[in-house]
């Protein structure tokens, strides 16, 4: 896997690294503390970490009526350099007053890019992984603007959802994707869309991303990047049949969400897939798995995605040595294969896997 910072913020002036911790719901309360211990084990490879515990989630909503307290947002904006978010147990039914806190955080902090690497671990150190791709997902619009209505009509209840695609959001996620593709050996970018059906919304996304290399501010910078396109339905098919054709994939919000979860099956488990929510001034790591209520409290949640998310967050901040150590430790545990959680067909506990990672560090 070619590991490089996506868009590093300046790290030279920091004597400490203030990290907001938002475990939220379910197994988030088990895997985020594991990521904290892994970060603390890095020692002098990063500035001294200082952790701030913050609240958000469905459980907080049931107690207070607010899923994302203003205090959490204010502390992230004014006191933290970065953050780690666990998982949310959002209900599948409509609950008056409730809205997903992770979706709200992405908008409030303008974390417009969700970046999800999906990489297999090669059997031997130095070998090339069989799967090595990154899904770059626009994080602020599409159907996730949550503008829905329900009315009574001649055919009974009628529900409608507004889908928003803007040139502004498409351009900046496109530039993030080109930046990432340009830093990788293959320099290949695939634009995911469905403009053969949604010619206006997906058409705008497609055209805007394709036009990024022609922008005056980046003229000539991405000349080495090869551009491809794939309809979203056939992209899922090709992911399973020939994942090697993909390098960097850029997609609107909903497609990116679905594709990245599907891609996790290629490497064995959602419990291995990290992500960051990134903007121009802030980054928040987030394991891709959900709150997993069926295993909550059993001590068998896989902590590796949260540790990898911490590594991705640190890499984005410019702390490459620390990020490499975390990634290499996780890879070594997976490659060894003796200490793995049940989602990877193992019998180990969350803490046993964490201790194996700490031993590698």
Catalytically active residues, by annotation: 144, 194, 233, 257, 261
* DSSP class of 200: T
User: Which tokens hold the place of 310?
Assistant: 């911490």
**Closest Cα to residue 201, out of 171, 166, 253?**
166
* Long-range contact pairs involving 96-102 (C-beta distance under 8 Å, separation at least 24): 97/61, 97/65, 98/58, 98/61, 98/67, 99/67, 99/68, 99/146, 100/67, 101/24, 101/56, 101/57, 101/60, 101/67, 101/68, 102/24, 102/56, 102/286
**Closest Cα to residue 232, out of 211, 209, 207, 260?**
260
DSSP code string of 213-245: GGSGGGTTTTTT-EEEEEEHHHHHHHHHH-GGG
User: Using CA atoms, how far apart are residues 272 and 308, in angstroms rounded to an integer?
Assistant: 8
* DSSP class of 134: E
Q: Taking the CA of residue 262 as centre, how many other CA atoms within 13 Å lie in the half-sphere pointing to its CB?
A: 18
**Closest Cα to residue 83, out of 22, 158, 7?**
22
User: Which tokens hold the place of 125?
Assistant: 């150190």
192-223: b (≥16 Cβ within 10 Å) or e: bbbbeebeebbebbbebbeebbeeeeeeeebe
Q: E strands within the chain?
A: 16-24, 48-53, 82-87, 113-119, 132-138, 148-153, 156-161, 188-193, 226-231, 248-251, 276-278, 283-285
């Amino acid at each position: 896997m070619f590991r490089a910072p996506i868009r590093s913020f300046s790290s030279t002036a920091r004597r400490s690294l203030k990290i907001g911790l938002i475990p939220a719901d379910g197994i988030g309360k088990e895997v985020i503390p594991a990521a904290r211990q892994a970060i603390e084990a890095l020692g002098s490879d990063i500035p001294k970490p200082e952790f701030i515990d913050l609240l958000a989630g469905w459980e907080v909503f049931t107690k207070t009526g607010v899923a994302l307290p203003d205090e959490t947002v204010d502390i992230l904006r004014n006191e933290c350099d970065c953050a780690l978010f666990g998982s949310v147990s959002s209900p599948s039914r409509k609950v008056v007053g409730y809205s997903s806190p992770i979706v709200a955080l992405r908008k409030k902090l303008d974390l417009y890019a969700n970046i999800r690497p999906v990489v297999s671990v090669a059997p031997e150190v130095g070998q090339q992984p069989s799967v090595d791709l990154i899904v770059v997902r626009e994080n602020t619009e599409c159907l996730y603007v949550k503008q829905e209505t329900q009315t009574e009509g001649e055919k009974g209840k009628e529900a409608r959802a507004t889908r928003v695609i803007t040139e502004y959001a498409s351009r900046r996620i496109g530039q993030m994707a080109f930046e990432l593709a340009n830093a990788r050996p293959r320099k290949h970018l695939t634009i995911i869309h469905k403009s053969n059906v949604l010619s206006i919304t997906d058409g705008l996304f497609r055209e805007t991303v394709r036009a990024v290399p022609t922008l005056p501010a980046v003229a000539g910078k991405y000349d080495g990047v090869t551009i491809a396109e794939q309809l979203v339905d056939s992209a899922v098919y090709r992911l399973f049949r020939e994942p090697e054709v993909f390098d960097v994939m850029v997609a609107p919000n909903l497609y990116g969400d679905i594709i990245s979860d599907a891609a996790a099956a290629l490497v064995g488990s959602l419990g291995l897939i990290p992500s960051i929510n990134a903007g121009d001034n802030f980054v928040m790591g987030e394991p891709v798995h959900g709150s997993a209520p069926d295993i909550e409290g059993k001590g068998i949640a896989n902590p590796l995605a949260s540790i990898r998310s911490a590594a991705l967050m640190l890499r984005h901040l410019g702390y490459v040595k620390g990020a490499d150590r975390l990634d290499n430790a996780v890879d070594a545990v997976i490659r060894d294969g003796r200490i793995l959680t049940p989602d990877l067909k193992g019998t180990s506990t969350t803490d046993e896997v964490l201790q194996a990672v700490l031993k590698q560090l």
